[in-house]
Structure formats: C-alpha cells, structure tokens
Amino acid sequence: MDYEYDPVPLPYRQALSDAESLQRAENFYRHIRTRHSVRHFTDRPVDRAVIEACLLAAGTAPSGANHQPWHFACVSSSAKKREIREAAEAEEREFYAGKAGDEWLSDLKKMGTDAQKPFLETAPWLIAIFAERYGFDDAGERRKNYYMPESVGIATGFLIAALHEAGLATLTHTPNPMKFLNEILGRPTNERPYILLVVGHPSEDAMIPGAATVKKPLEQIASFIE
C-alpha cells in the first residue's frame, strides 16, 4: 500500500534560551546518570497504568520509514514469569558453564552475575521486547522493515529512560538465545526476541557492581570537529 507525502505543521516547538537549554541538558544528565541496572528487586507491585505510559513514550521513538518494528509483551502473571525464569536459567546454565567462551565469561566476572535469575519471578513486570523482522501493511501484505535493530534499540532506550523517570528500576537482560520467549508468550515467527526488560522497585539491600559506575569521560566518547 502506498502512502503519499502529507505534510502537517510541526505540532510543538520549544522556545528555550541558550541558558535554559544548558540547564535542561544538565538536569537531564544529572537524573539519567542515577540509573543503574538492578538485579535485586522487591515484589512491590507497579500499576499497569505506569507501564502503559512508559510504553507510549517508547512508541514515540524514531524508526526506519516510521515502521515502528517493535512489540512489547508485558508479563505480570506469576505463572508466566516462572516459566520464563525456568527457561532463562536453563539457557544461562549452559552459557556460564562455558558456552559463552573464556573471554566473555572473564569480562562478566566484574558484574558478579551467574545463572541464577530469581528477579525474573520477584520483579512485578517483565517486558519482553520483540523486534519485527518484517511487518504487515493494512492490507495484510508482508512489509519490509528498515534499520530494525537500530530502531528497536532507540525505542528500548526511550523505555528505560521513561521507566527511570517514573522511579522504577530496570535490568536489561539477554538470556542467550531467547527463542523460548516466542513460545511462552505466543509471539509470531516474524518477531525476534530482542531484550527481556525486568521492571520494578529495587530491594532495600540492592547492590550493583562497582564496575558499572565507571563511565567513560566525554573526551573518550566524543570528538568535536568545529
């Protein structure tokens, strides 16, 4: 199905002074730098409305040709969470037993992670993010997607930032491989599991790896050609 170019005025623009821009940018940095991947959650429930608002934010992300090649399967069912934990731990046992290879396992030592994933049952929500290899148009015809991993990565970033803004903790989890998520969650074969996002409140005694607090300085991550 073809869509014609149909321009509409930019619906919103911000008229900020340079000083306001800087202040906003610095405030955002101060806030986002408090985010960390959490592996110790409480079972305190989180309203579905909060999750929905954060997903709406994620859904505003840019994507190749605006095809929005993502699906967020949100799980709060204890039975489904248990199934996911069992399947993920089975994968992770093989991974940590050597499938990952020496270099990867050595790199992971500083993270203190192992094959046990109790948070997959404790946390109130698991958001399984799927990337659409291809989609379907309004007529049900197969439609190509462009820059699918990039697009889903950006939407996932929006989602993590929105959840952090809502006061929630997340873990970007990637049991390897994740095909079991299609089966457990009944997702179609055109969708590839991308990330399993664990969402909830951190436990009182939540710890994080010290290594995770070390972020590269600006000089190492950016160059300016002026």
Ligand X SMILES: Cc1cc2nc3c(=O)[nH]c(=O)nc-3n(C[C@H](O)[C@H](O)[C@H](O)COP(=O)(O)O)c2cc1C
Report the C-alpha gap between 224 and 226 in whole angstroms: 6
Contact between 36 and ligand X per CB under 6 A: yes
Contact between 116 and ligand X per CB under 6 A: no
Task: Between 173 and 192, name the residue whose CB sits nearer to ligand X.
Answer: 173
For residue 66, give both structure tokens: 């605006």
Each residue 207-226 as x (binds ligand X by CB under 6 A) or -, in order, gives: -x---x--------------
Name which of residues 117 to 176 contact ligand X (CB under 6 A): 171-174
SS3 of 134, please? Answer: strand
CB of 15 to ligand X, least distance (A): 34
CB of 112 to ligand X, least distance (A): 9
Report the C-alpha gap between 143 and 222 in whole angstroms: 36
For residue 181, give both structure tokens: 């998520």
Contact between 111 and ligand X per CB under 6 A: yes
Report the C-alpha gap between 80 and 89 in whole angstroms: 14
Task: Between 96 and 143, name the residue whose CB sits nearer to ligand X.
Answer: 96
Q: Burial code of 150-174, b = ≥16 C-beta within 10 A, e = fewer?
A: ebbbbbbebbbbbbbeeebbbbebe
Task: Between 55 and 152, name the residue whose CB sits nearer to ligand X.
Answer: 152
Task: Between 105 and 143, name the residue whose CB sits nearer to ligand X.
Answer: 105
Report the C-alpha gap between 173 and 39 in whole angstroms: 10
Name which of residues 41 to 100 contact ligand X (CB under 6 A): none
Contacts with ligand X, residue ranges (CB under 6 A): 36-37, 39, 111, 113, 171-174, 208, 212
